[in-house]
Amino acid sequence: MTATRVEVAIVGAGFAGLGMAIALRRAGREDFVLLERGASVGGTWRDNTYPGVACDVPSHLYGFAAHPNPDWSEVFATGPEIRRYLEDVAEREHLGERLRLQTPVLDARWDAEASLWRIRTGGAQESFTADVLVLACGRLTEPSIPHVDGLESFPGPLFHSARWDHTADLADARVALVGTGASAIQILPELARTAAHVTLLQRTPAWIVPRGGDSYSDADRARFAATPQALEALRADLYAEGEARFASRSGDSAAAAEAEAVARAHLERQVADPALRAALTPDYAFGCKRVLLSDDFYPAVASDAVTLVRGALSAVEGSTLVASDGSRHDVDALVLATGFASTRQPYADLVRGTGGRTLAAHWSEGMTSFASTVVAGFPNMFVLNGPNASLGHSSSVLMIEEQAAYVSRVLDGRAGRTLHVDPAAERTYTAEIAEAAASTRWMTGGCRNWYVDDRSGRLTLLWPGTVDAFRARLARADGSEFITADPREVHAPASGAPRGAS
């Protein structure tokens, strides 16, 4: 087995991994490698190929500041277009020789004596040692498959929305779609157009607002290409709109009431049947779960092509689905739009820090960090798009860029030192997050969402503030979050409510 030594090993080549590579390049660091388990770059936009897949963040805000794209075809880009954008970014950054595709990380261990990470991979059976490990593995990568009695007995096509089986012929088939989240509301209208009938199993309805968003004309794209300032101005406007949206998503009473009224009016306009409207109306506060955007979901549900079931999938008996409301439905194909393992990141089992402790063990009561990026007990390691680094109101790419800039700044000041995160700094940051989140709808809105870890009841996925606030918080990180100590003494897990935290 070949052993390769690098300064920085980046795990993942989606938005986070590419964003980290861009930041390293801009900082003059060239000794890095990107380890990607897939056959190409793209992350979630490579893996999710279901019908209708698209982004719900405006295209011109869902890209790297260093790589503006004047050629977006629509206000909300489709999945294939985003994937092509990421492939183009990798090409323009000349990352080919640094990319190791089809190279899954099997194990990453901190070697305290040598002060480096030892990384074992699959694929070409190449191993790596790295001074610095960056986990850019994404948060929506591993499908969440519900535990349903008899699920394995289903005789027809059965797959998760993120692993779409394009060989399955769903045209003129009776298809069941499980879930009414972000993926499902894009999939349903597409299935309704081609399937013989769609049975939609809804555990919990979502707040849905109009999507809108036209296509960009040839003239628009030509203007953006010829006038970069116009593109910058558009991005600035979209950024401001996103920051303003935080109030309604987080629980500002007036803003939330106004946004909820928009969602209720949208539902009433598109669904005439009062009973169906009632079934599609959430009983929890606006913003508690992810707010969705769609103009064609409600019309599809209201059509004769779809039957809405007000219950979760509770059992499978051959080709018959049993819902939690007791109803039974015979179908030919079953699509699970049931989300992802978001609060319990799969990669955490593969990473061992000081004393051999796994990241999963450290996060056994929910993800913790300092600056949403570094973790006590895991020296010289950074996590992008991990603890409290997601957003419910704007583009996650903005957060990735801020984290990557923080990593670059820390590495510039490292001067060969081993970076041990002070457990007290992690505890204090965790307490800050808990305090900021306490009054938000994510915590008080009366719903169960994928932002909160059910083991501790803490908000572990979302940043409970604006992007501006995140920038300001990372700017205040002055290096005092790192200490010089024996690594064996720096692996105590952080808990939700620290002692003596300010």
Alpha helix positions (H), 159-209: 182-194
For position 342, what pLDDT does the model report? 81
For position 493, what pLDDT does the model report? 43
Query: How many CB atoms within 10 Å of residue 324?
Result: 14
Global pTM?
A: 0.94
For position 141, what pLDDT does the model report? 83
For position 484, what pLDDT does the model report? 83
For position 171, what pLDDT does the model report? 95
Question: Would you mind telling me the total number of residues written for the chain in this entry?
Answer: 502
Residue ranges covered by each domain of the chain: 3-142+342-421+465-489, 151-207+252-336
Q: Which residues pair with 293 in a beta bridge?
A: 209
CATH topology match: 3-142+342-421+465-489 vs 151-207+252-336: yes
- Quote the tokens at residue 219: 């003239």
Backbone torsions φ then ψ of 427, nearest 5 degrees? -65, -40
Between CA 176 and CA 188 the distance in angstroms is: 10
Between CA 309 and CA 324 the distance in angstroms is: 9
Candidates 382, 468, 464, 451; CA nearest to 419 is 382
CATH of domain 151-207+252-336: 3.50.50.60
Per-residue pLDDT of the chain (502 residues; tens, 9 = 90+): 668 999 999 999 999 999 999 999 999 999 999 999 999 999 999 999 999 999 999 999 999 999 999 999 999 999 999 999 999 999 999 999 999 999 999 999 999 999 999 999 996 667 999 999 999 998 888 899 999 999 999 999 999 999 999 999 999 999 999 999 999 999 999 999 999 999 999 999 999 999 998 899 999 999 999 999 999 999 999 999 999 999 999 989 999 999 999 999 999 999 999 999 999 999 999 999 999 999 999 999 999 999 999 999 999 999 999 999 999 999 999 999 999 888 888 899 999 999 999 999 999 999 999 999 999 999 999 999 999 999 999 999 999 999 999 999 999 999 999 999 999 999 999 999 999 999 999 999 999 999 999 999 999 999 999 999 999 999 999 999 999 865 454 444 444 433 223 2
- Quote the tokens at residue 214: 């036209």
Considering the domain delimited by 3-142+342-421+465-489, tell me its CATH architecture: 3-Layer(bba) Sandwich (3.50)
Between CA 242 and CA 126 the distance in angstroms is: 43
